Amino acid sequence: MATYNLLLLAGDGIGPEVMAEVKRLLGFYAKKGVADFRTEEGLVGGAAYDAHNVAITEETMAKAHACDAVIFGAVGGPKWDKVSFEARPEAGLLRLRKELGLFANIRPAIVYPALADASSLKREAVEGLDIIILRELTGGVYFGEPKTITDLGNGQKRAIDTQVYDTYEIERIARVAFDLARKRRNKLTSMEKRNVMKSGVLWNEVVTQVHAREYKDVQLEHQLADSGGMNLVKSPKAFDVIVTDNLFGDMLSDIAAMLTGSLGMLPSASLGEIDVKSKKRKALYEPVHGSAPDIAGKGLANPIAMIASFGMALRYSFDMGALADKVDAAIAAVLASGLRTADIKSEGTTAVSTTQMGEAIIAELGRLSA
């Protein structure tokens, strides 16, 4: 049996609650003898700050480098509003992304048939939706230098963030995007703001060149990120794969999440380059939703995005695509049976807690593998 080393970083707010459902799933796989998943746990975000005064310790970073995949919950909350910018909870996540080189963030937005009415958009607009937002994750304005606030001495301050992209960063994310598109409906939409930003001009140019050189068979279109956002809510099904930079991807993926009915539904995979020697790639799997401090500890959180994120780990890190398909099928079946956490509750459905949702998905997995 293959052995895989997982680092579980539950984080803050609802992070530990949804992570508990991943642990339940791992317990199920252990009993079934699917694979030998070995887990270690660590602190990140506000939890790490409370214990060590940093958003992630060197020791935890070392474990993240050494493991086969990081499974991440969520970080942040009002409790840490006054913490210095360097030690704020989000800094732990950003450091993981940057230092592990996780440049490719795959955020699929799928509307499960049972949830087509949970979206704020009309059923016809979202029914059957299955798109991917591919977000560049280690560059752009998130990490560009200078990143400063300077006192100008005249009662004014000046804040600077820097949007910066080099050719190689755009090329490598474009290749991931074209490869994904080839396995799907063969259509890629690239979004930037070339009408305003130099980084948008280069982004557009490089994606166009990679297409002409290596991926002529894929249908490529370019949209400005603002009207692209509009089209995403106007006719989301017109898209297949969308590739965009770090900041636009952050915004567009939250929008895409709401198309599916709730932020609690969207999983994500953050992947690094494939190492030529080991053929392995660094990876982190996390739900798109945040730590939702307002509902933390109440058993209200939806664990589906977290469980589906582990499904993505099966697919992208452990080459267990068939098992990942079963996770998705189990989620769909449980939703079809009418069970709903609070965020996706609608009339005529049955309200369940985080734990009950997790248990129901695993029971369904048991039936599917029987």
For position 250 contacting Mg ion by CB under 5 A, the verdict is yes
**Residue 111 binds which entry of ligand IPM, Mg ion, none, with Cβ cut-offs from 5 to 8 Å by kind?**
none
As measured in angstroms, the least distance from the Cβ of 302 to ligand IPM is 16
CA distance 363 to 347: 24
Beta partners for 11? 74
Q: Is 314 exposed, middle or buried (0-12, 13-18, 19+ CB in 10 A)?
A: buried
x/- mask, ligand IPM, residues 270-309, rule CB under 6 A, reads: ------------------x-x-------------------
* Nearer residue to ligand IPM within complex by CB, 76 or 108: 76
Distances (CA, A) of 103 to 75, 155, 361: 20, 39, 31
Q: Which stretch binds Mg ion (CB under 5 A): 59-67, 192-200, 247-255, 298-306?
A: 247-255
Considering only residues 8, 22, 26, 93, which one is a binding residue for ligand IPM as defined by CB under 6 A?
93
Q: Which residue among 4, 142, 215, 316 is the active-site one? A: 142
Give the helix, strand, coil percentages of the chain, each rounded to 5.
45, 20, 30
Q: Is 305 exposed, middle or buried (0-12, 13-18, 19+ CB in 10 A)?
A: buried
Q: Which of 130, 254, 325, 345 is catalytic?
A: 254
- In the set 40, 90, 179, 214, which binds ligand IPM (CB under 6 A)? 90
10 contact partners, CB below 8 Å, separation of at least 6 = 16, 19, 41, 44, 47, 73
Angle between helices 304-316 and 354-369 (to 10 degrees): 40
Site for ligand IPM in 56-75 (CB under 6 A): none
Ranked by CB distance to ligand IPM, the top (closest) residue is 90
Footprint on this chain of ligand IPM (rule: CB under 6 A): 76, 90, 93, 250, 288, 290
Site residues for Mg ion per CB under 5 A = 250
Catalytic positions, please? 142, 193, 226, 250, 254
